[in-house]
Structure 1
Amino acid sequence: MYNLYYICMRNRFVMFIRCMDAQITNNFREAEIYTRPAQGNGLWTCALLPAILIFYDNIYKVSPLYKLITCVSIGLLAHSILYLLFFYVSCLVLRDTLNAGCFSAAFLSALPIYLKLEQSLVVAIALPLMAIYIFTFFLKLALVKCPKTFTIGEAMLVSQGMSLIIVTMIARVVLGSYYPDYAETDATMHLINTYVFTVFSTVGLLVAVLYNLEEYNRTFDKLVFIISLALLYTLIVLHVSYGYNCIPAFVYFIFGNSVRVRLFCFWLALVLLSVFIIVVRTRKGDRANTVTRKVFHLLATLVFISGILLDVYFMTLAAGLIFCVLILIEAIRKSKINPVSPFLQYAFDIYKDHKDSGNFAMTAIYLYVGLACPLVIVPREAKNPELELLSGVLAIGIGDTAASWFGEKYGTMKWPDGNRTMEGTAFNVLAQMVAIYMLNIFDLLDSPYMYIRTAIAATVSALVEARTTQVDNLVLPLVTILAFQSTTIL
C-alpha cells in the first residue's frame, strides 16, 4: 500500500500538478490573498460537477433543461481551468473585470447550445456569458472578500454551483414561457420548483438587505419587520406564479398524504432533538469534539435516508426549503443583531470545526449540501437511481462518520503524510456496505448489483476521504456519484 502510494506520487502528471499547486499558493501569499489553511488548494475539485453533468447527459435521455445546464457547465469548467492558469502566473486576474478568457469559455458553451440544442443565437450567447459572469462574481467574492474560508478548489466548486442554480432558475422562467420542451410537465415538480426557487430568491434578497443594513438599524424589531416584508413578497410571487391556491396546494401536498405526514412528524422530532442538544451544549459552554459533531451527521442522515427511500418528492421540497433557512440563519449570525446574532455566534463557537477558520460556518452548510446535492444532480430519467441519490448519505452520513469514530478510537496505522488511519478507512467501507445490507433486509432498497456497486463507490470515497485536505462534506458526495456512474456498465 505504501509503495503504491509513493509510485502514484512520483507520476509526472501528479508532480506537475503539485508544483503548479505550490506556485499558486506562493502567488496568493504574495498578493496577500488568504485561502483556508490546507495542505493543498484542491485544484481537482473544479472538474467534479461538470464531469457528473456531462456523464449523465451522455448515458441518459435527460430533459432539454438538463442538457442546457450541462453545456453551460462545460464553459464554467473551461473558465475554471483558465483561472488556474492565470493563478499560476499571477493573482492580478482577481482584481480585474471580465477578460477575453470569459468570452472564450462562453464560446465553448454557446457552440453546443446553438448547434446541438438548436437554441437561438441570443440564448446560446446570453446564458453562458451570464453563467460565467455570476461564477466570476462569486469566485472573487469567495477568495478576496472571505479570507480563510475556502480553498481555491472549494471556491470554484461553490461558485460553479451557485452559477448553475441561478442560470437554471432564469432558464426555467424564460425558456419555459416560450419553449414547451423547457416547461415542467410534472405537476409535482412544478410545485416543488416554484416554491423552492421563490424562497431561494427571497432569501437572496434578505441576505442583500442584511448585508447593507446600517448599524443603527441592526435591531431585533427591524429584523422582524424585514422578515415580514420578505414573507409578504414570497406570498405575492407565489400567487402570481402558482395561482390563488398556492397556500392550500402547499398544505395539501404535505398533509394530504399519510406517508408525508409521518415523515414530517419524524423530521420535526429530529429537528427538535437537534435544537435541544445545541441549547444544552451551548449553556454548558463545552467545546464539541469531532465525535460529538458526528451526532448531527447521524441525525441528518436519518432525515435524508428516510426521505429519499420513502418519498423523494417530499425530500426534494424539504431539502430546498431548509437549505434556504440555513443560509438565512447564517446571514443573521453575521448581521450582528441583538439578541439573535450573539446566541448564534456562541453556538457556532461551540460546534465549529477546525476547518471553519474563515468568516462563515461552511462545514455545517457543506454537510447539508452534500446530503442534498444528489437530489438536484441525479436526473429523474436515470435508471435505478437509488444508490446515486444516497451518495451523500453513504459517503458522509455513514462512511465519514464511521471512519471518524472508529479511527479515533481504534486506529493505529496512519496514512503517509496525513492524520487519517487505515483502520478508519477500512471501517468506512464496511459501514457503507452494512448500511446497504440493512436497507435491503428491511425491503427499503433493492437495486441491481447494489453490493458490487457500493463496494466500488465506498472504496473510492473512503480513499479520497483518507487523503484529501478539502472539506469532506462538500467533495465526497460528488466523488461517490462519479464512482457510482463508473459502475453503470454493470
Structure 2
Amino acid sequence: MRNRTDNNSGYSSEFSSSDEDTQLKKVHARMCGVGHQRNTDIVPRPGASPGYWLSCLLPLSLVATYWTNLHEEPQRCSNIPQQYKLVTLTALTICIQNISFFMYLALQAKLYKWLIVFIPFVGGTCIFKFGLGMNWWLAFVWTLFIDVIFQRCYIQVMRDLPKSFTYGEASILTQGIFLFVMNTLIMGYHLIVTEPVKENANEMQTLSTIMMFALLWLLLVCTSLLACQFLRKPFIFYPIMMTFVAAATLAPVTKPLPVIAVFEFIFQDRMRLYIILFYVALVIATVAVVCWQLRNAQHATTSVRKLFHIFMVLVYIPGLLYECAFLYIASGVAMALITIFDLLRILKMPPLGEILEKAFHSFADEKDAGIIAFTPMCLLIGCSLPIWIMPCPCATNEHGLNVKLLPLLSGVLTIGFGDTAASVIGSKYGRNKWKNSSRSVEGSVAFVLYVLLPIAILNLMEFVQLNVVQWSVTVVATLISALVEARTDQIDNLVLPLVFYIIISLC
C-alpha cells in the first residue's frame, strides 16, 4: 500500500480518482470523523506490512477475559462490574470500525465501499442493543459517538507520529488509550455522583483508582504538549510536570489521599520493602548497562538489548508470585516514568534530553523509525497488559494461589523467555531459515522450549496446577506464539503477549 493519501480522508489514493469515488470518500470521512488532510500526512512505519490483524488482539483479549471470569469460581472474582462489560463491548465496536476502515482501503468496487461505510454503525448498534439491552436509538447514538471519536484519535495518532507504527500497531495503541480514558471517566463519574470516595475501600480498587487517574493526568499533559508548542519551553515544562505530580499524589480520588494510601500500602508488609529494594537494585543495574553501552560508543547488539528482557523477568515473576498488588501499582509508575523520560528526550529538555537521545539511538533497532521510543515502551506494555486488563488480577483461591497466574505471565513468558531465547540462539546457531523470513527454525524451537520450561517449573512448585487439557492448550498457545514470532514483522513486544494471552485464557 502506498503512503500517499487523498485530500479528503487520509485514505490511500491508489484506488480511484473519479468524482464518484472522491465523493464516496468524503461521505465516509465525515461519518468516521476524518477531516480534510494533506496528501502526505499519514506515514506508517517503513519496512513492515500493515499488520491489520493486530486490531483484533486487544478486543479478543478482553472478550476472553470476560468470558472466563464469568465461568470460574465465584470466590475469586465475585462481581465483574457492568462497566467491564461495557468496555469489552466498546472494544468490539471499535475493532469493527478498524476492520471496516482497512477494508475500505483495500477494496476497489464502489458498491462494496458504500456498504462498508455503514458496517461499523450497524454492527456496533447491534452489539450494544443485544449485549447491554439498550434501546435501538441509544445504541445507535452511543455507537456513532464512540466510532467518530475513535476514528479521529486513530487518524491523529498516525498523522502526528509518522513512521512510528504500522496500521495494526497504531490500532492497539489507540484502542488501549481510548478504552483506558473511557474506563477512567466512568470511574470518575461513579466516584463523584453514584459512589462517593470511601474510606477502607478494597485494596486493589484503591490502587487501581490511583494508577488510572495518575495516568490520565499524564495523558492530559502529553496532549497539551502536543497541541501547544509554547508549553515545550523548560521554564514552563518543569512546572507542568510538578503540577502533574501534585495532581497524581494529592487529588482526592481516594481516602486517604493517594500519596498517603500508597505509603501505608508499602509499609504495611515487610515483603514489599524487600521487593522494593530488589527493584531498586535492578534499576541501578539497568542504568549501569546503559552507561556501559554509551561509553562503548557502539550500537547495542541483540544480546545486550535482550538484557532488558531478562530484567523484566526478574521484575515480574517475583512480583506476580509474592506481591501482585504492589506490582500492579509499580507497573503504572514505570509507565509514567518511561513516558516522562521519552518526553524529555523528544523535547530535548536539559539536563537529560541529550543523554537520553544518545541512549535511545544506541539501543534502537529498525522498528524504532519514528519519533517515540515505541519498542522499549512496548516491552513494559506487553508484560503489564495482562495485569491491567484482568478485572481481579490478584485474587486467590482457598489455597492462596492465583489461579490466573499463567495468563498474567503471558508477557514475561513470551517476551522475557521465548523471544529472548529465539533472538540469542537464533542469531548464534540459526542455520535453517523460515521461508521468506530472517528468523530461524532453531530460534523458534528455542522459543518453545524456553516458554514451556518455566511453566513446567512453576507446575512442579505448585504455583500453577495444570491438567492434561490445560497442558494441551498451553502447548498450542506456545507453538502459535512461536510461529507468530517467526513470521511477523510487527513489534514482538506488543503482539506475542496478546496472542499467548488470548489462547491461554481459555484453559
More displaced 10-residue stretch of structure 1: 50-59 or 259-268: 50-59
1:412 aligns with 2:443: no
Counterpart amino acid of 2:429? Y
Q: Contact (CA 8 Å) 1:260, 1:311: kept in 2 or not? A: yes
Q: Contact (CA 8 Å) 1:391, 1:480: kept in 2 or not? A: yes
* 1:476 equivalent among 496, 502, 506: 496
The DSSP-based 3-state class of the residue aligned with 1:159 is helix
The DSSP-based 3-state class of the residue aligned with 2:382 is helix
Q: 1:88, 1:37 → 2: CA distance? A: 19
What is the aligned partner in structure 1 of residue 216 from structure 2? 201
Q: Encode CA deviations 1:127-150: one digit per residue, 9 max, x unaligned.
A: 544543442233112322222111
Q: 2:54, 2:231 → 1: CA distance? A: 42
Unaligned runs of 5+ in 2: 6-10, 15-38, 71-79, 109-113, 396-401
1:51 aligns with 2:51: no
More displaced 10-residue stretch of structure 1: 51-60 or 155-164: 51-60
TM-score w.r.t. length of structure 2 = 0.81
The DSSP-based 3-state class of the residue aligned with 1:270 is helix
- List aligned pairs for 1:57-72, cutoff 5 A: 57-61=66-70, 62-72=80-90
What is the aligned partner in structure 2 of residue 361 from structure 1? 373
What is the aligned partner in structure 2 of residue 428 from structure 1? 447
CA apart distance, 1:28: 4.2
Q: Contact (CA 8 Å) 2:184, 2:216: kept in 1 or not? A: no
Counterpart amino acid of 1:251? F
Q: Encode CA deviations 1:116-174: one digit per residue, 9 max, x unaligned.
A: 43468897566544543442233112322222111111111211111111111112222
Q: 1:349, 1:412 → 2: CA distance? A: 29
Distance 1:302 1:130, change over 3 A: farther
Unaligned runs of 5+ in 1: 1-21, 91-98
What is the aligned partner in structure 1 of residue 480 from structure 2? 460
Q: Encode CA deviations 1:87-123: one digit per residue, 9 max, x unaligned.
A: 2259xxxxxxxx9978863554454445543468897
What is the aligned partner in structure 2 of residue 151 from structure 1? 166
The DSSP-based 3-state class of the residue aligned with 1:242 is coil
CA apart distance, 1:407: 0.5
CA apart distance, 1:369: 0.5
1:349 aligns with 2:361: yes
The DSSP-based 3-state class of the residue aligned with 1:60 is helix
1:399 aligns with 2:418: yes
What is the aligned partner in structure 1 of residue 275 from structure 2? 263
Counterpart amino acid of 1:304? Y
The DSSP-based 3-state class of the residue aligned with 2:253 is helix
Q: 1:302, 1:374 → 2: CA distance? A: 17
Q: 1:398, 1:242 → 2: CA distance? A: 38
* 1:105 equivalent among 94, 97, 120: 120
Q: 1:425, 1:197 → 2: CA distance? A: 37
Distance 1:452 1:243, change over 3 A: same
1:295 aligns with 2:307: yes
The DSSP-based 3-state class of the residue aligned with 1:396 is helix
More displaced 10-residue stretch of structure 1: 26-35 or 402-411: 26-35
Distance 1:266 1:40, change over 3 A: same
CA apart distance, 1:53: 1.9
Equivalent residue pairs, number? 453
Q: 2:376, 2:232 → 1: CA distance? A: 28
* 1:87 equivalent among 92, 98, 105: 105
Counterpart amino acid of 1:305? I
Q: Contact (CA 8 Å) 1:34, 1:147: kept in 2 or not? A: yes
Q: 1:258, 1:379 → 2: CA distance? A: 26
Distance 1:55 1:217, change over 3 A: closer
Q: 1:185, 1:414 → 2: CA distance? A: 57
Q: 1:174, 1:64 → 2: CA distance? A: 14
Distance 1:123 1:268, change over 3 A: farther
Distance 1:217 1:168, change over 3 A: closer
Distance 1:444 1:59, change over 3 A: closer
Distance 1:216 1:161, change over 3 A: closer
1:36 aligns with 2:45: yes
Distance 1:447 1:249, change over 3 A: farther
Q: 2:55, 2:364 → 1: CA distance? A: 25
Counterpart amino acid of 1:37? P
The DSSP-based 3-state class of the residue aligned with 1:241 is coil
Distance 1:266 1:134, change over 3 A: farther
Structure richer in helix, relative to its length? 1
The DSSP-based 3-state class of the residue aligned with 2:505 is helix
Counterpart amino acid of 2:408? L
1:246 aligns with 2:246: no
More displaced 10-residue stretch of structure 1: 121-130 or 454-463: 121-130
Q: Encode CA deviations 1:318-365: one digit per residue, 9 max, x unaligned.
A: 112211221121122111222321111111010111110111110001
Q: 2:323, 2:256 → 1: CA distance? A: 26
Counterpart amino acid of 1:465? E
What is the aligned partner in structure 1 of residue 386 from structure 2? 374
More displaced 10-residue stretch of structure 1: 31-40 or 398-407: 31-40
Distance 1:125 1:310, change over 3 A: farther
What is the aligned partner in structure 1 of residue 26 from structure 2? none
CA apart distance, 1:305: 1.4
Q: 2:139, 2:265 → 1: CA distance? A: 36
Distance 1:459 1:236, change over 3 A: same
Q: Encode CA deviations 1:41-89: one digit per residue, 9 max, x unaligned.
A: 1111111111222233334324312211111112101101111122225
CA apart distance, 1:295: 0.3
Q: 2:144, 2:323 → 1: CA distance? A: 37
Q: 1:242, 1:185 → 2: CA distance? A: 10
Distance 1:268 1:123, change over 3 A: farther
